[in-house]
């Protein structure tokens, strides 16, 4: 959350998520090594058949769909060019900066097509954990990195310890879901526990996590990601037979969810508080302010804290479309398309709006030069939106 504030300042602008259809506090079955084939243009066409004949821009359904394979290839190639020689994933192909939060979501979006690259990234991340106490006194965290003096050096800084750890666990879950490699998980279990311990150590009595040590803010976006990461990690452990720890993290995830739906939900405003400090100070949503106010509201939907048919999810999504009806065309006035909203539309079953942002992003990157401010998170959420529409997300959560 705080990281996006930094990105806004730098670029003039926070994994991988699937609607959670399971009963509260049930363990997510990962169904590792699915028989589902990789997503294809054909499956994308079939998935979208029967939707609205035209997007609001006037483009026909067929013309949007014809962009499908080209757009997928465009974003995938861009992300692959952002991978360094040791598995690290940079912010962009310039390969000058590594922010693990963004890299985690990139890895998750690439796992269907490039699991070997994702495996390398997981090992790179684990190799760069702070095993001795970091500058804030924590272990299991990871710093941002940058290129300097001919090598990659630590910045001795991370924006949010909770989200970095949570989105990494979700990326690992996606890798396991695709490969079914139980031995890979068992061999790295101690390191994964170290990562997960960061979240547990930041969890407060109300179930919510502080963003990082000595930064006494609880962010809606971060906590939504923490819920997803803990659920994903519980699913891995349950699948490989580490049942007791699976239930431990499942309980922790349930407490995060409860904290979001009680402490962070404001009944009067019928919206979420997007930040809460240690003195009880609340940052209420300003529906006229896109980020962080409005965009933070969709994260409980994106991460499965709220199911798509929950009245609160429907009310929030409708409100976003009411106050910002033209969000799929933000690329015309903003430097980035906010592709997380495309994924939100997919989760809510609004395929037309999901298609519109895919169309917008494709035109933005194909028909004009890709903006210099473009970063891995945008490509990652575009990839996940494609995969969702095609029915081939890297992790599936099925009602059982």
**Per-residue model confidence (pLDDT) at position 38:** 36
The two tokens of residue 69 are 């394979």
Mean pLDDT of 171-194: 97
**pLDDT one-digit tens code per residue, 11-68:** 222 333 333 323 333 443 343 333 333 333 334 443 444 444 455 555 554 565 566 6
- Quick count: other Cβ atoms within 10 Å of Cβ 296? 25
Query: What's the pLDDT at 32?
Result: 38
Identify the pLDDT of residue 1. 55
Bigger pLDDT: 104 vs 57: 104
> Can you list the alpha helix ranges (DSSP code H) found in the chain?
2-11, 41-48, 61-66, 68-80, 100-110, 115-127, 161-179, 182-187, 189-202, 220-239, 243-262, 295-297, 299-302, 311-323, 340-347, 351-366, 376-390
- Residue 331 confidence (pLDDT): 59
Sign of torsion, CA 111 120 123 213? negative
pLDDT band at 336 (very low <50, low <70, confident <90, very high): confident
Question: 28-42, 146-160, 182-196, 319-333: which has the minimum mean pLDDT?
Answer: 28-42
Residue with tokens 């994924």: 343
Q: Residue 295: what pLDDT?
A: 96
Per-residue pLDDT at 269: 93
Instruction: Report DSSP letters for 360-390, one per residue.
Output: HHHHHHHSSPPPTT--HHHHHHHHHHHHHHH
User: What is the Cβ-side half-sphere exposure of residue 263, based on CA atoms within 13 angstroms?
Assistant: 23
The confidence band for 166, taking pLDDT boundaries of 50, 70 and 90, is very high
Q: Does residue 100 have a pLDDT over 70? A: yes
184: left (phi over 0), alpha (psi -120 to 50) or beta: alpha
How much of the chain is in helix, strand and coil states, percent to nearest 5? 50, 10, 40
Could you tell me the pLDDT band of residue 317, with boundaries at 50, 70 and 90? very high
Cα–Cα separations (whole angstroms), residue 72 to 59, 258, 329: 19, 37, 19
Buried b (16+ CB within 10 A) or exposed e, 197-218: ebbebbbeebbbbbbbbebebb
Locate the domains of the chain by residue range.
Answer: 2-390
Prediction pTM value? 0.86
pLDDT band at 174 (very low <50, low <70, confident <90, very high): very high
Mean pLDDT of the chain: 84
The answer to whether residue 157 scores a pLDDT higher than 80 is yes
| pLDDT confidence band for 337 (50 / 70 / 90) | confident
> What is the Cα 318 distance to its own chain's centre?
22
How confident is the model at residue 80, as a pLDDT?
96
pLDDT (0 to 100) of residue 104: 97
Q: Stretch 89-103: mean pLDDT, rounded? A: 96
Residue ranges with strand state E in the chain:
97-98, 145-148, 151-154, 217-219, 265-266, 271-272, 275-277, 282-283
Q: Are strands 217-219 and 282-283 parallel, antiparallel or unpaired?
A: unpaired
Q: What is the pLDDT of residue 149?
A: 86
pLDDT for position 89: 98
Cα separation, 158 vs 369, whole angstroms: 31
Q: Which two tokens stand for residue 202?
A: 């930041």
Domain 2-390 indexed as CATH 3.60.20.10:
no
Q: Which residues, other chains included, contact 307 with Cβ-Cβ below 8 Å and sequence gap of 6+? A: 19, 20, 21, 313
């Amino acid at each position: 959350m705080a990281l996006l504030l930094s990105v806004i300042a730098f670029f003039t602008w926070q994994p991988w998520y699937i609607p959670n259809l399971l009963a509260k506090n049930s363990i997510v079955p990962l169904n590792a090594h699915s028989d589902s084939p990789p997503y294809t243009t054909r499956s994308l066409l079939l998935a979208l058949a029967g939707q609205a004949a035209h997007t609001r821009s006037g483009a026909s359904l067929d013309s949007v769909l014809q962009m499908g394979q080209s757009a997928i290839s465009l974003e995938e190639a861009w992300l692959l060019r952002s991978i360094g020689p040791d598995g690290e994933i940079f912010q962009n192909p310039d390969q000058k900066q590594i922010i693990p939060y963004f890299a985690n979501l990139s890895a998750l979006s690439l796992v269907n097509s490039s699991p070997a690259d994702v495996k390398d990234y997981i090992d790179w991340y684990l190799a760069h954990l702070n095993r001795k106490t970091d500058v804030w006194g924590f272990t299991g965290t990871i710093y941002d990195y940058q290129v300097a003096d001919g090598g990659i050096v630590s910045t001795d800084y991370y924006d949010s310890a909770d989200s970095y750890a949570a989105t990494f666990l979700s990326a690992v879950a996606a890798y396991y879901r695709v490969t079914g490699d139980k031995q890979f998980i068992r061999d790295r279990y101690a390191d994964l526990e170290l990562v997960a311990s960061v979240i547990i150590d930041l969890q407060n009595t109300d179930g919510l996590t502080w963003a990082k040590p000595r930064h006494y803010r609880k962010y809606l976006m971060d906590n939504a990601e923490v819920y997803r990461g803990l659920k994903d990690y519980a699913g891995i452990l349950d699948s490989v037979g580490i049942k007791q720890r699976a239930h431990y993290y499942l309980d922790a995830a349930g407490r995060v969810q409860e904290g979001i739906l009680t402490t962070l939900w404001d009944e009067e405003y019928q919206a979420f508080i997007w930040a809460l400090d240690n003195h009880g100070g609340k940052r209420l949503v300003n529906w006229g302010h896109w980020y962080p106010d409005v965009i933070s509201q969709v994260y409980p939907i994106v991460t499965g804290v709220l199911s798509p048919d929950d009245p609160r999810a429907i009310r929030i999504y409708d409100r976003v479309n009411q106050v910002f009806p033209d969000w799929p065309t933000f690329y015309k006035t903003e430097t980035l398309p906010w592709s997380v909203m495309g994924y939100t539309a997919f989760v809510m079953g609004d395929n037309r709006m999901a298609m519109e942002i895919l169309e917008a992003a494709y035109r933005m990157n194909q028909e004009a030069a890709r903006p210099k401010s473009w970063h891995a998170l945008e490509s990652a959420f575009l990839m996940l939106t494609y995969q969702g529409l095609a029915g081939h997300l890297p992790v599936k959560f099925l009602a059982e």
